[in-house]
Amino acid sequence: MKKILTLLVFVILISCGGQKQIINTPNATKLEEVKESLEYLASDELEGRSTGSKGIEKAAIYIEDFFKAHKIKPYFKTYRDSFNLKDIVGYNVVGYIEGNDPNLKKEFVILGAHYDHIGKGKSVNGDTIANGANDDASGTVAVLEWAKYFSKTKNNKRSILFTLYAAEELGLKGSGHLAERLKAQNIDLYTMINFEMIGVPGAEDEIMAYISGYEKSNIADKLNGYSGTEIIGFLPKAREYKLFMRSDNYPFYNAFKVPAHAISTFDFTNFDYYHHVDDEADKMDFQHMTNFIKKMIPAIEGMVNTTSKEIKLNE
């Protein structure tokens, strides 16, 4: 009887500590892995990842190798979606996990971030490399971590595209190209979320992250509902600065007229190094990044698994 009671207590403890158990599973995001990926993508070796450079080529290879290592397939014949900007060749890198529902897999969710940056910046103490740790190696790493998670759990009824864009810094050219290419294929795009500058937390009295175009759809409420906690909110400056139209979500909104937004934790007061050579890995809050990535997982799972399209544009 004593053994049975002990077993029951153990089961109850496991049940009550469900969230902690999830965090400790082999599928969970680990801070040291987030840090390792970001430190490479924002290293001097990549020379600021300007589109068309040797540095961004190294970043593209890193992303491709990451997808291969975690058995994430390319959506096209290869991982690369190439485009030309005059004499520059750019590459979006696109990974694909097919949905596991025979009907819902025809619908797509896109998770994206731009992996390019500006290359060089104004010299500070002899340093001219604008490493782009927050902008947007942070968002890139988040997308890679979610790709790894879903490749292991297979917990997605809808299909997911994990899209990393070049030429964002040249005017959203990479995401614009991919949006038009997917539109020409007439894919059934349900939602698109772009992740932009999530490397540092906002003020303590602010919600964890905000979404651009907050009023355009019900996506913030739905994501918060799926996650069971308030992650996503409204930032007045996002409307003031028209951020909805200034990030890689916008080409998808234009092409498909579906909910397509950007999520960020940069609130214009918490990071002084936008397009600056000091946008370095050592300025990132890796605990914050890891917590954000983990908290978004149930929100994304809800989005990719509902039987109907609950996220809608507002009238």
| Tens digit of pLDDT at every position of the chain (315 positions) | 434 333 333 333 333 333 323 333 445 789 999 999 999 999 999 999 999 999 999 999 999 999 999 999 999 999 999 999 999 999 999 999 999 999 999 999 999 999 999 999 999 999 999 999 999 999 999 999 999 999 999 999 999 999 999 999 999 999 999 999 999 999 999 999 999 999 999 988 889 999 999 999 999 999 999 999 999 999 999 999 999 999 999 999 999 999 999 999 999 999 999 999 999 999 999 999 999 999 999 999 999 999 999 999 998
**Strands 127-130 and 159-165, how do they pair?**
unpaired
**Angle between helix 31-41 and helix 138-153 axes, rounded to 10 deg:** 130
Question: 94 is written with which tokens?
Answer: 């696109």
Asked if the 30-305 domain carries CATH number 3.40.630.10, the reply is yes
∠ CA 209-38-162, rounded to 5°: 65
**Nearest-angstrom CA–CA distance, 283 and 199:** 8
Strands (E), the chain: 73-74, 80-85, 88-97, 107-114, 119-124, 127-130, 159-165, 188-195, 209-211, 232-233, 260-264
Kindly report the pTM of this predicted structure: 0.91
**Nearest-angstrom CA–CA distance, 153 and 28:** 10
